Amino acid sequence: MTYNFSTKCIYGNNDATSCDKSGAISFPIYQTATFAHPGVGNSTGYDYSRLQNPTREQLEKVVCSLENGYDALAFSSGMAALTALMELFSPGDHIISGNDLYGGSIRLFNNINNKNLLKFDFIDTSKEDIEKYITPSTKAIYVETPTNPMMNVTDISKVAAIAKKYNILFIVDNTFLSPYFQNPIDLGADIVVHSGTKFLGGHNDTLAGFIVVNNEELSEKLRFILKTVGSGLAPFDSWLILRGIKTLAIRMERQQQNAIAIAQWLKANSKVKNVYYPGLPDHPGYEISKNQSRGFGSMLTFEVENSEIALHILSSVKLIQFAESLGGVETLITYPMTQTHADVPKDVREKNGITDNILRLSIGIEDVNDLINDLSQAL
């Protein structure tokens, strides 16, 4: 039986039958490293928690159902997931990547993956002609949409058609919108990645990462990588993310509602130069977002007149917290140039629009008037 999204957040595609004879409503934490076998050649289905654990397995089933994938794999962080994903590729392989990505992704590509002789072209996938960058060694296209932090929107179906034309993988980081608002696999992507730390967990209390794939071959390759490199998510952290996902739908609705109101308020403020939010009708990606997503999310970036104003805001907010990360119930303000994108070369940052006047907001579930009042006094 197939359930609607809010129900899948609690059960996945399973029914409500308890996983054991106790009748526990909350899925148990199987806090064990290893599992006993009834006899030689006879297994319970679990051998060692690095390979699989019932709590992690339940979480993976739920996430897979939310993204409409074939399989989902849970990792110890978003970066652990991305690091494992890059093991699909071999020295000399070429990847076309978006140029406005989370700084940790760029750091991985430019340092670890380049050292291992993978080659990257970083382009604006929302505007540029992707096909002119494809070579015989191109193996994948990697995009975030919306991007971090400049909120550029890439047409997923359009890029998927290009990837299929050239028989290359299409990978989408869906962290910003979560599966509640966007399902890239339904639009033609082969692989979806998430920092589960963010909206899926939703409470800023644990780290997690996910890879969701659309076919058995990718599942088998990545499960071999996961068990070999040993970066699977631990049982207790799996349980925390499972608990967080139960409220994903209602959190996303409230956070988006707040974000739209704050984006409109910032846009009307004389000290704010630009507001980057796909839910504003004058955003370049507004129509694409309406076509490929069910909402615009709760991430927004804004630009003030100068760095003095930006620094003043960061030191003056009282309710909003100056911190890295995003997607939790608390509203956070981030300074990309010194936090999320500090390791991105200055010329690359500035080319992408990330200056010392740029601030990023992850909108939480607080009363929106309290958030606006806090921004008002800080400005």
- Strand 94-98 and strand 119-123: pairing? parallel
- Residue 165 is which amino acid? K
**CB within 8 Å of 272: residues ≥ 6 apart:** 266, 302, 303, 304, 379
**CB within 8 Å of 244: residues ≥ 6 apart:** 200, 201, 202, 203
The full DSSP string for 130-172 is GGGG--TTEEEEEEESS-TTT-----HHHHHHHHHHTT-EEEE
Per the structure block, which two tokens stand in for 331? 């509203």
Active site residues: 50, 102, 173, 198
Residue 169's DSSP bridge partners are 140
CA 146 – CA 102 distance, rounded (Å):
11
Per the structure block, which two tokens stand in for 283? 């955003």
What is the helix (H) or strand (E) element at residue 173, kind and residue range? Answer: strand 169-173
Count of helices and strands (H, E) across the chain = 14, 12
Given a contact cutoff of 8 angstroms between Cβ atoms, the answer to whether 319 and 371 are in contact is: yes
CA 319 – CA 373 distance, rounded (Å):
9
- What backbone torsions phi and psi does residue 81 show, to the nearest 5 degrees? -65, -45
